[in-house]
Amino acid sequence: TGSEKQGATAYYVSTPIYYVNDAPHLGHAYTTVAGDVLTRWHRQRGEKVWYLTGTDEHGQKIMRTAEANDVTPQAWCDKLVEEAWKPLWEHLNIANDDFIRTTEKRHTDRVQEFVQDLYDKGEIYKGGYEGPYCVGCEEYKLPGDLIDGEGEFAGQKLCPIHKKPVELLKEENYFFKLSEYGPKLLEFYAANPDFIQPESARNEVVNFVEQGLQDLSISRSTFDWGVPVPWDPKHVIYVWVDALLNYATAVGYGANQEKFDGTFPANVHLIGKDILRFHSVIWPAMLMAQGLPLPGKVVANGWLMVGGEKMSKSNLTGIKPQDLTSHFGVDAYRWYFLRAISYGSDGSFSWEDFSARYTSELANDYGNLASRVAAMVGKYFGGSLPEATAAGDAERAVQEGLAKAVATADAKIGEELDFQGGILAIFDFVKQVNGYITEQEPWKVAKDTTPEGQARLATILYTAAESLRGVAVLLNAVMPETSQKLWESLGAEDSLGALADQKVQDAGAWGTLPAGATVTKGAVLFPRLEEKPA
Ligand code: ME8
């Protein structure tokens, strides 16, 4: 095992598969948009990519929700997936390559085989367990993890994440010998210091494993909404074991060896910090037990908070992404959370902050630059991009600025998953170009009708348009619709071809946009915001 993929070709990124107990909120969209930006970035590098998302449909939480709504769990899941989850990802322009549902046969058959295999290898045994269980987490809790209830929950022990009472569960279950994997896991973390990110998450996991692991209960017999244990079908497989396996079954585990070898393991598992232990302890141990390769990285994002608490479906604090996209637009939505919150840290959503950043950074800095440049090429050169024949130090500084933005954004977004840092590098360049135009004052230079004056004017406008060409490529992963509009307004679609074929690593190649390109004033990239809805 090792975190470098051997002979595999696709850059494989996953999101958590979300519970379909309710419709998605901003928190789910946060992780999914981050994965979409990451994978679009790698596609724009010309790499083969596999971006996977899906839904987690088994377990007590889903079963109880369906019962409360008087439908079968399967009918409940079908409805939520088709009417809420898939449409949202389409709405947010998520370019996932597959969508896995854990109730699909391509998944359940392989889950049974995987677990049977572990049983045959002696990795699973029958035993008893009694302990506090949180249905919200679908997890047995350690007594030390619980918090004391207050008010309506006075005298009860609560789950620290859901702030709801835990239930005492006693079962005869099958257990996976997780405790035996502690030393191997610690060795793996030491050999692969980047495996768990950010650093705080890594430290938390290492501390947890150093304290010694307990064996993991991997079956349930008190309810039946799950994948039956093949050798003892009175039990269903624990929902988390079932769920984690989606990362293997979706890419052909046990069914399509060629696809599996070309994709598995994931380069990056994107998760929220609430499900860190499952992904960095249980999942690697399951893979070790089967002799399968381990993922490259597990990267945890922080929580989007509402009123100081994690935004959540169970606590009814979820805000629908559509409530924001209808006001700010899809592209601004995709941009905002990655721009405003350092990936890995918690962050609060505020309408005021979003509005302020939209107006100053998107509409004023970026949108106005694009429309001013197109307008001036129209006014002074009849919409035909002029040649830059009089470039000097000021132009060279802009060229260097673009090259620097490309290098920084590529390292930060493509490698470090520092989306905020990458976006800031691109917007610093946008500011630089605005500064350049303010200093050069093309509207004044235009009044100088000598050949030298006209050559200066041409050079300034070419420099600005060529800069925007680079910006369109760099922001395509984050705001694809806006980049496409800008690309077309620069006449780049006709002269250079599809934006998707522009490699990010060539975005800084100065002089790519040809003189003579037809520049048109396209639609306003970021329209003025309406009043905040009541
Ligand atoms: O845990 N802030 O599903 P889930 C940021 N089915 N991210 C948030 C968030 C918030 N307030 N709320 C949710 C499950 N998320 C399991 C996963 S994977 C094999 C099984 C995001 O529907 C974040 O990525 O509770 C978190 O990890 C995920 O949604 C949990 O979604």
**Each residue of 62-100: pLDDT tens digit?**
999 999 999 999 999 999 999 999 999 999 999 999 999
Q: Check pocket membership of 243 for ligand 1, CB cut-off 6 A.
A: yes
Task: Return the structure tokens found at 227.
Answer: 């994948």
Q: Check pocket membership of 478 for ligand 1, CB cut-off 6 A.
A: no
Is residue 289 within 8 A of residue 123, CB to CB? The reply is: yes
131-to-144, 152, 166, 215, 530 alpha-carbon distances in Å:
12, 22, 9, 13, 53
Residue type, 487: W
Ligand 1 nearest-atom number relative to CA 303: 2
Whether 107 is a known active-site residue: answer no
Task: Return the structure tokens found at 37.
Answer: 């930006």
Question: What is residue 3's predicted lDDT score, i.e. its pLDDT?
Answer: 45
Question: What is residue 283's predicted lDDT score, i.e. its pLDDT?
Answer: 98
Is residue 281 within 8 A of residue 201, CB to CB? The reply is: no
Sites in the chain below the pLDDT cut of 50: 1-4
Name the residue among 411, 430, 307 with its Cα closest to residue 360. 430
Question: What is residue 217's predicted lDDT score, i.e. its pLDDT?
Answer: 94
CA 113 to chain CA centroid, nearest Å: 30
Whether 503 is a known active-site residue: answer no
Name the residue among 371, 420, 317, 2 with its Cα closest to residue 187. 2
pTM of the model: 0.95
Q: Which residues have CB under 8 Å from 221's CB, separation 6+?
A: 171, 172, 173, 234, 235, 236
Is residue 133 within 8 A of residue 141, CB to CB? The reply is: yes
Question: What separation in Å is there between the alpha carbon of 177 and the centre of ligand 1?
Answer: 26
Instruction: For the chain, give the percent of residues with pLDDT over 70.
Output: 97
Residue type, 81: V
Question: What is residue 108's predicted lDDT score, i.e. its pLDDT?
Answer: 98
Name the residue among 280, 137, 138 with its Cα closest to residue 200. 280
Question: What separation in Å is there between the alpha carbon of 277 and the centre of ligand 1?
Answer: 13
Question: What separation in Å is there between the alpha carbon of 520 and the centre of ligand 1?
Answer: 43
Whether 48 is a known active-site residue: answer no
Q: Check pocket membership of 161 for ligand 1, CB cut-off 6 A.
A: no
Question: What is residue 489's predicted lDDT score, i.e. its pLDDT?
Answer: 98
Task: Return the structure tokens found at 150.
Answer: 């207050």
Sign for the CA dihedral angle at 473, 475, 477, 483 comes to negative
pLDDT, tens digit, 9 for 90 and up, residues 156-202:
999 998 999 999 988 889 999 999 999 999 999 999 999 999 999 99
Count of CA atoms in the C-beta half-sphere (13 A) of 260: 15
Angle at 136 between CA 130 and CA 137, to 5 degrees: 65
Which residue CA neighbors atom 2 of ligand 1 most closely?
Answer: 303
Name the residue among 471, 423, 345, 315 with its Cα closest to residue 30. 345
**Residues annotated in the binding site, as ranges?**
134, 137, 159, 162
Is residue 269 within 8 A of residue 300, CB to CB? The reply is: no
ipTM over cut 0.90: yes
CA 115 to chain CA centroid, nearest Å: 29
Residue with tokens 């064996």: 215
Question: What is residue 207's predicted lDDT score, i.e. its pLDDT?
Answer: 98
Q: Check pocket membership of 76 for ligand 1, CB cut-off 6 A.
A: no
Q: Check pocket membership of 238 for ligand 1, CB cut-off 6 A.
A: no
Question: What separation in Å is there between the alpha carbon of 16 and the centre of ligand 1?
Answer: 6
d(CA 26, CA 440): 43
Name the residue among 411, 229, 200, 437 with its Cα closest to residue 299. 200
Omega of the bond leading into 198 within 30 degrees of 0 (cis):
yes
**Residues annotated in the binding site for Zn(2+), as ranges?**
134, 137, 159, 162
Residue type, 448: D
Question: What separation in Å is there between the alpha carbon of 341 and the centre of ligand 1?
Answer: 17
Ligand 1 nearest-atom number relative to CA 19: 22
Q: Check pocket membership of 271 for ligand 1, CB cut-off 6 A.
A: yes
Whether 313 is a known active-site residue: answer yes
Name the residue among 223, 242, 228 with its Cα closest to residue 67. 223
d(CA 29, CA 16): 11
Element housing 90 (H / E): helix 86-91
Per the residue annotation, which of 134, 269, 297, 412 is the catalytic one?
134
Per the residue annotation, which of 58, 61, 141, 159 is the catalytic one?
159
Question: What is residue 314's predicted lDDT score, i.e. its pLDDT?
Answer: 64
Whether 42 is a known active-site residue: answer no
Question: What is residue 287's predicted lDDT score, i.e. its pLDDT?
Answer: 98
Which of 18, 137, 225 is the pocket-test mutation for ligand 1 (most atoms within 8 Å of CB)? 18
Per the residue annotation, which of 5, 58, 273, 313 is the catalytic one?
313
